Structure 1
Amino acid sequence: ISRQRYWGAPIPIIHCPSCGLVAVPERDLPVLLPEDVDFSPQGVSPLARHEAFVNVACPSCGGPARRETDTMDTFVDSSWYFLRYLSPHDDRQPWPPEAAERWVPVDTYSGGIEHAVLHLMYARFITKVLFDLGLVTFTEPFKRLVNQGMVYFKGGAFSKSRGNVVEPLPLIEQWGADSVRLAMMFASPPEDDMDWASVSMSGVHKWLGRVWRAVHRAAEVSAGGDGSADDELRRFTHRTVKGVTSDLERIGFNVAISKLMTLTNELQHALDSGVRGAAARDAAEGLVLLLAPMAPHIAEELWHEALGHSTLASMERWPTWDERLARENEVVLVVQVDGKVRDRITVPADADEAACLEAARSSERVRRYLGGAGEVRAVVRPPRLVNFVTR
């Protein structure tokens, strides 16, 4: 873990001719780097040439000794920084045990895959050492690791040396920060590589325009309307709140945005169909609050200007859903023959194995593929899948 360079945490060891390796006493910690250092290349590290830093008295025998001049690799420095976040200004202890009990291990840790064999290895090793010492109650520092993918453009990953990077400011000036942010999140899952050429600013920008118009319309409509249409919009809103919440928790931003696009379409269609009052406003408010983490500027504007709230959308409680309303009435049953999809059929959400099997066997398309088959075995996973096995 040692490096022959100036930048890094000094290794707190003193080399004594009589006593051998002696640890720097706790009263003398931390060992600070000297500031009057000559960085010119002379074959040895800058610290090794700094006499005032190197020459010290042995803490054990008091005789002349030399301080260790190697520094620790920066990955060692960052191996427990997440614990120091618990109490960065506490000069009595590295972290309070009661804070560690509440806040760590880290729930979700996001970083590039290039750190897997260095930073993460050190962090895991140090955490296990701390556990053995009784300083923490867990052996793994991070519950969940998310490695984001690379962005590719013009034949390679974004790189200043390749000259294929895209400056964000011109895009923000043209499309707005919300559109740029949403377009990147919608283009691919965070853990996948992304082709910049496939990122559509205009598509997302047009959708935000539809959001703007739909929310304003919902805020302006009067009470009353078609009861059945109101109920359908209300159920769809609750399903969207449940789905987007789940998507965000698993960092499925692109799927969450897709659901919000669908809710926008449903709200517009409901307004065109005569939906009024609470159902329309609830859908609009849910749409804005679900959108707020990903497009905060337009969400705050709509929350204040269109919906008339005096609070910040970002400070509101996250929308909740009624499980009875969020439950789907119908689902799509996928029917396969020997693992290949041959039809998709709408069935009740509570369809059991017998109902799914009957619906699958009644499909004309499926019967064509089963026509000459002899004994057929059916694998049923109600209410989503039926697979007929003929081989």
Structure 2
Amino acid sequence: MLFDLGYVSFTEPFSAVLNQGMVLMDGSKMSKSKGNLVEFASELREHGADALRLTLAFAGPPEDDIDWADVSPTGSTKFLARAWRISGEITSPTDVEWKGGDAALRRATHHLLADAPGLLEAFKFNVVVARLMELVNQIRKTIDSGPGAADPAVREAIEAVTVLLSLFAPYTAEDMWERLGHPASVAFAGLRKPDPTLLVEESVTAIVQVDGKVRDRLEVSPTIAADELEALARASAAVARVVGDREIVNVIVRAPRVVNIATRS
């Protein structure tokens, strides 16, 4: 029907199939005879639908088997409560200008906005949930130890979290969206486009190895020249302690990420 109406270019109802894994218990398929059944209704009453959905999404790739003994609905419940509490702390108006907000938090938000569509298309739901957890932690730190709940970047970040969270925990996300001052429904909000200027790395971590072992990590510009990076590596106190009186016979620089120093006695 969809093909006949011109809505899709293929005749099959779907363009691809993803075979989901099974939910096991202690490594075995659940069955009454083994006595290893997990009653969905009781889990639903204890944790709620959102927490169970989030738990299954976070447990691993959907095509893999999941052992219920290894997952934590309680952890999902705590995370949802953490995100929900933040949505009630925001004091900035809904039309606040984002540009004046905390730069580090804005970069983290826009990296997630840039990465999430591709991850979702690839069914990497567990990665998206993990990234949401990381961003919520960063929001919490920005509120508690940084510019506070009134910072525009805090609102921008928790709104992005809410929109993405609606894919896994729609009831919680809907309530968060309302607490943030927006009309229903978050399902129609859509993800904002990432700002390309916020996706440029201001610094990268360069690994310095001496004879194959990591001896130091240097925060450097992503555009640093090879000779500059080599000079910084040679000047490192940690490298100097290891090298001591030994002769440096070779230095291989793969700027801006790695410096390999080889020595001999």
Task: Provide TM-score, normalisation by structure 1.
Answer: 0.55
Shift of the alpha carbon at 1:167?
A: 2.2
Amino acid at match of 1:291: L
Partner of 2:189: 316
1:124-135 map, 5 Å: none
Percent identical: 35
Q: Which has the higher contact order (CA 8 A, sep 6+)?
A: 2
Partner of 1:349: 222
Query: Is the Cα–Cα contact under 8 Å of residues 239 and 327 in structure 1 kept in the other structure?
Result: no
C-alpha distance in 2 between matches for 1:298 and 1:215:
10
Cα gap change, 1:342/1:205 in structure 2, threshold over 3 Å: closer, same or farther?
A: farther
1:270-309 map, 5 Å: 270-272=142-144, 273-275=146-148, 276=150, 278-304=152-178, 306-309=179-182
Shift of the alpha carbon at 1:110?
A: 0.8
Cα gap change, 1:164/1:256 in structure 2, threshold over 3 Å: closer, same or farther?
A: same
Amino acid at match of 2:106: R
- Choose the corresponding residue for 1:153, options 5, 25, 45: 25
Query: Is the Cα–Cα contact under 8 Å of residues 233 and 267 in structure 1 kept in the other structure?
Result: yes
Amino acid at match of 1:299: A
- The reply on whether 1:109 has 2:6 as its aligned counterpart is no
Deviations 1:297-333 (A, max 9, x none): 10011112x0222231112222211010232322233
Secondary structure at the aligned position of 1:110 is classed as coil
Amino acid at match of 1:294: F
Partner of 1:118: none
- The reply on whether 1:206 has 2:78 as its aligned counterpart is yes
- Choose the corresponding residue for 1:190, options 53, 62, 80: 62
Secondary structure at the aligned position of 2:252 is classed as strand
Number of aligned residue pairs: 257
C-alpha distance in 1 between matches for 2:15 and 2:147:
45
Shift of the alpha carbon at 1:101?
A: 2.8
Partner of 1:57: none
C-alpha distance in 1 between matches for 2:15 and 2:260:
38
C-alpha distance in 1 between matches for 2:43 and 2:175:
21
Query: Is the Cα–Cα contact under 8 Å of residues 239 and 328 in structure 1 kept in the other structure?
Result: no
Partner of 2:204: 331
Gaps of 5+ in 1: 1-86, 89-94, 113-147
- Choose the corresponding residue for 2:52, options 180, 205, 212: 180
Amino acid at match of 2:219: T
C-alpha distance in 2 between matches for 1:370 and 1:197:
49
Query: Is the Cα–Cα contact under 8 Å of residues 203 and 221 in structure 2 kept in the other structure?
Result: yes
Return the index of the structure with the highest Cα Rg.
1
- The reply on whether 1:264 has 2:136 as its aligned counterpart is yes
Deviations 1:152-187 (A, max 9, x none): 432x23332544232222112111111122223223
Partner of 1:62: none
Shift of the alpha carbon at 1:370?
A: 5.3
1:1-391 map, 5 Å: 87=1, 96=4, 101=9, 108-111=16-19, 148=21, 150-154=22-26, 156-160=27-31, 162-218=34-90, 220-221=91-92, 230-272=102-144, 273-275=146-148, 276=150, 278-304=152-178, 306-337=179-210, 341-367=214-240, 372=246, 375-378=249-252, 380=254, 382-388=255-261
